[in-house]
Amino acid sequence: MTLVHLVLVLALVEFFFFLNEVGRARGRYGVKAPATSGHEIFDRIFRVQMNTLEQLVIFVPSLLLFAAYVNPTIAAGLGALFIIGRALYYRGYVRAANQRGTGFLISVIPNAALLLGALVGILLALSRHYA
């Protein structure tokens, strides 16, 4: 389970980096708080942050439940893929909005696998319990 916790923390470190990039982009592109829009590149970095926020709310519990109900090593592997996919998503999206697709899929597919795997694992555990 420690390896799963490492993957979890690394995903949060990556998100912390995205938050920091948004802060730096405020200065670089002159987007003054409380605005969250105003320069095309700022807007794209901000969207990387927001989209990753949405994904993390699913990722953190799904990773832990998949590890508990299915398999911790597979959970860590899917989680590592998620982190790599998010890095590619960031790199692509900063370059151009239409280059965000690959990284998006490489992060969202393992995230969906963690969520659905956790669901199946929980349902199997319940069926064993009531069988």
Q: Is 39 in the site for a copy of itself (CB under 8 A)?
A: no
Q: Is 84 in the site for a copy of itself (CB under 8 A)?
A: no
Q: Is 107 in the site for a copy of itself (CB under 8 A)?
A: no
**Residue 8 DSSP code:** H
Count Cα neighbours of 60 within 13 Å in the Cβ-side half-sphere. Answer: 11
Contact call for residues 114 and 63 (beta carbons, < 8 A): yes
| Cα 49 from chain centroid (whole Å) | 10
The residues in 47-76 that bind a copy of itself, with binding defined as CB under 8 A, are 47, 49-50, 53-54, 56-58, 60-62, 65, 69
Q: Is 43 in the site for a copy of itself (CB under 8 A)?
A: yes
| Sign, CA torsion 10/92/18/65 | negative
- Helix, strand or coil for residue 32? coil
Residues that bind a copy of itself (CB under 8 A): 2-3, 5-6, 8-10, 12-13, 15-16, 19, 32-36, 40, 43-44, 46-47, 49-50, 53-54, 56-58, 60-62, 65, 69, 93, 97, 100, 112, 115-116, 118-119, 122-123, 125-126, 129
